[in-house]
A and B are shown apart, each in its own frame.
Chain A
Amino acid sequence: MLELNRVNSYYGRIHVLRDVSLRVGAGQIVTLLGANGAGKTTTLRTIVGLNRSAANDIRFEGEPLGAIAPYRIVERGIAMVPERREIFPEMTVLENLELGAYRRRDPVGVAADLERVYTMFPALAERRGQAGGTLSGGQQQMLALGRALMSRPRLLLLDEPTLGLAPLLVGEIFATLTRLHGEGLTILLIEQNANQALGISSYGYILENGAVVLEGESARLRDNPSVRASYLGAA
């Protein structure tokens, strides 16, 4: 479904991604692990067109994404839940969700998806008129996830969706992701709760210093001694 072939990315003169190749098959959950500064967020930003370099070969459902503006990439069916949520703090929950469907021209479908998000996250329905910035961290994460779903994506990119959440909520987020996956959504996931992330995904990639150093089926990665040492903790 998504294919990156030897992708390179730069911040100014700093070479961040070096020949990163990865694939996400339709219906898969794929996990991207790596230390801070390894280039995980940059990989997602490059996919959605926020970091560009002309020569990159990124294909979505066979079509190149190389020179397409970020908003067009959303239209193609890719949505991102950015690191640290990035909700619109002064706008209401409803307005945040409506902006997720900004490029859609099917009001009936949008209304149906809004109901779906409210059903999935009842806390958002209760607070639909409240400013996004006044929500608690967990509710904000639900809002960011709901907003991404409002574009009705086929591929969802998640950048650390459990960051700063209490243990109870971490469990809820993972349950939600499993459920979305059950409904047919394809997911590329960055997550520091590596244990749980590898638990729900089928395949994983390990990034170090901007390059893929290891990849494989999630179950095999969980047994890999170096992965255990760096990402799964001694436990």
Chain B
Amino acid sequence: MNRTAALAGLGVAALVVALAAAPLYLPAYPLFVLSLGLVYAVAVLGVNLVMGYAGLVSLGHAGFAAVGAYVAAIAMTKLGLSFWIALPLGGLAAAGCGVVLGLPSLRLGPLHVAMVTFGFGWVIVLIAQNWLDVTNGPNGLAVPPPRAFGRDLYAPDFHVAVVAITIVLFVLAGNLVASVHGRAFKAIRESELAAQAMGVDLAFYKTLAFALGALFAGCSGALFAALSHFVNPDAFHFGVSILYVTVAILGGMGYLAGSALGGVLMAVVPEVLRGTGEFKDLLTGSLLLALLVFLPHGLAGFADRRGWLPRRPTPPAIEAVAPRIAPNAVRAAGSDDTPLLAVERLTVRFGGLTALKDVSLAVRRDEIVGLIGPNGAGKTTLFNAVTGLYRAAGGAVRLEGHDLGRLAAHERTRLGLARTFQSPELFRELTVLENVLVGAHTGQWPGLLASTLGTPRTRRAEAAQRERARALAAFTGLAQWVDRRAEGLSFGHQRMLEIARALAAQPKLLLLDEPAAGLTSAEAEFLMALIRRIRSELGVAVLLIGHTMRVVMGLSDRIVVLDHGERIAEGSPADVRTNADVIRAYLGARHA
């Protein structure tokens, strides 16, 4: 462990002790405010998971907190359950609501999801106000103090419990966001298109993000009920949802420390400004505005950009071990005459326009097939139909003889298709290494629970995958850029990263969309050598779209030519080069 990490560890330990020991030096009311801040922090963490990490919108988190608070309160008062059961019960009830609210986000755009969550927050408050038999309406419910070790926990004791629970929840969230599942959230935030092409199940992860975000808010609500010994609808009105979002941004979206800071500020700032009387709201508003203008990435984001935040220590690269990129050693036995990929009379229509008409082609194992044609001929459309981004209107796509039918894009990735995009669709804010790791999403990873608990097995799996990702980055010539954000790479390096990311999925067939565009001739040479190595060393077949004739003609065993959505020629590079139709439609006289 290096010195910075050691210092950071020491700082965190000191902070934990200072928080837990607060009853020794804080009077009763400030202590309550601090407890309240930690309780808020848990809800803000929930907002952060949904918005900061997964890039979805929630304007109804106070609704989730209300569900948690009321379920816990009712469980304790009416059912006589212990707080320690009521707390997870409240969290789970809220998580259930999160699942239900997450579903529309699968189909609707961000604005609509914002409206749905907004409506949810509103409805929950209305229910709390009007379902008198259960919630006691505006008068609220009195909540008995939690009990532990045979006694009731009031303010000073309960504060210690709040500190402990908050820390546990933050540690679990920290494990999760650093795991393969957390990376899937961030990948969805950066590019849904690329995320599903890498095998990330959008429906699962979006629902999960809402469920977890709601779980944390529900726990926060339950803690709030126990801390204030009382719940009523006022504590969860719409303004609270907005406040959660505001302090999440202020603390720093995508930073756990930001959520902790934001929650504490949410409780402390109004108290500090209490003396300013009627100017309080004006001052709060101005302060917020100023901070948001000057620190657009929030307090934690600002600190991060200054290099002040401790980083989760990355396992050091094991240089002594030679890079291992497992080739596709296991071949389907016996069926070698079945083509790896068979596209049969594929037709794709957009409205009235036929983009592809009865196109057939095959790629065998160990083959490199070129796909050329004028701009707009349907080459990328074919890629999109094969990888499942477009629905075919007719025909079939088979991988190793199996009809891919209506399988979604992420399922096709699992079966062995990986692709790159014509305009790089990288996860721009993630590092090169993280991009490759998302590419490996379909590989062997620990489950959700193990990741959240941060088991040793999880850490070993993560370290092994990182090592493999480093090897792939080196394989594609990106070794020196592994820690740089993808958006900081030049266009040509972004293309290489797309290839590394696609290879991380251990595909059987790699679909490359104009990989040579924008490369110098020396770089194109490197690319050609790389594609040959992809075939010979990794055993991956390649289907290649390209306009750089030297590359396509030089690499391909066979070339298929499309024009106006139809196949106009197929053959060896030499045949295609001299084909009159191809010269007329595509090459021009110069290349003939």
Chain A contact residues, CB within 8 Å of chain B: 11-12, 14, 33-38, 41, 83-84, 136-139, 160, 163-171, 192, 194, 229-233, 235
User: Top 9 nearest A-B pairs by Cβ distance?
Assistant: A36-B492, A136-B376, A233-B521, A37-B490, A137-B375, A36-B490, A136-B375, A168-B588, A230-B522
| B586 partner, pick from A14, A168, A192, beta carbons under 8 A | A168
Nearest chain B residue, comparing its CB with the CB of A170:
B547
- CB neighbours (8 Å) of B376 from chain A are 136-138
Q: Is B324 an interface residue (CB 8 A)?
A: no
A-B contact pairs, 18 of them (CB 8 A): A14-B488, A35-B522, A36-B491, A36-B492, A36-B523, A37-B492, A41-B490, A41-B491, A136-B375, A137-B375, A164-B514, A164-B517, A165-B375, A166-B374, A167-B587, A167-B590, A168-B587, A232-B521
- CB neighbours (8 Å) of A171 from chain B are 588, 590
- CB neighbours (8 Å) of A166 from chain B are 372-375, 547, 586
A138/B492 contact (C-beta < 8 A), A36-B520, A160-B518, A164-B514 known: no
CA distance A36 to B586 in the complex (A): 27
| A230 partner, pick from B375, B490, B520, beta carbons under 8 A | B520
B485-523 contacts to A (CB < 8 Å): 488-493, 514, 517-523
CA distance A235 to B491 in the complex (A): 24
Assess whether B549 is in contact with A167, with CB atoms less than 8 Å apart: yes
Minimum CB–CB distance for A176 against chain B, Å:
15
Q: Is B524 an interface residue (CB 8 A)?
A: yes
Chain B contact residues, CB within 8 Å of chain A: 372-376, 422-423, 488-493, 514, 517-525, 547, 549-550, 586-588, 590-591
Nearest chain A residue, comparing its CB with the CB of B590:
A171
Minimum CB–CB distance for B455 against chain A, Å:
36
- CB neighbours (8 Å) of B374 from chain A are 136, 138, 166, 168-169
Assess whether A169 is in contact with B375, with CB atoms less than 8 Å apart: yes
Nearest chain A residue, comparing its CB with the CB of B583:
A168
CA distance A229 to B550 in the complex (A): 15
| B492 partner, pick from A35, A170, A194, beta carbons under 8 A | A35
Assess whether A11 is in contact with B488, with CB atoms less than 8 Å apart: yes
- CB neighbours (8 Å) of B591 from chain A are 167
CA distance A12 to B517 in the complex (A): 27
Assess whether B423 is in contact with A165, with CB atoms less than 8 Å apart: no
- CB neighbours (8 Å) of B492 from chain A are 35-37
- CB neighbours (8 Å) of B547 from chain A are 164-167, 170
Tell which of B489, B493, B586, B588 has the most Cβ of chain A within 10 Å: B588
| A37 partner, pick from B422, B489, B586, beta carbons under 8 A | B489
Nearest chain B residue, comparing its CB with the CB of A229:
B522
Tell which of A37, A164, A165 has the most Cβ of chain B within 10 Å: A164
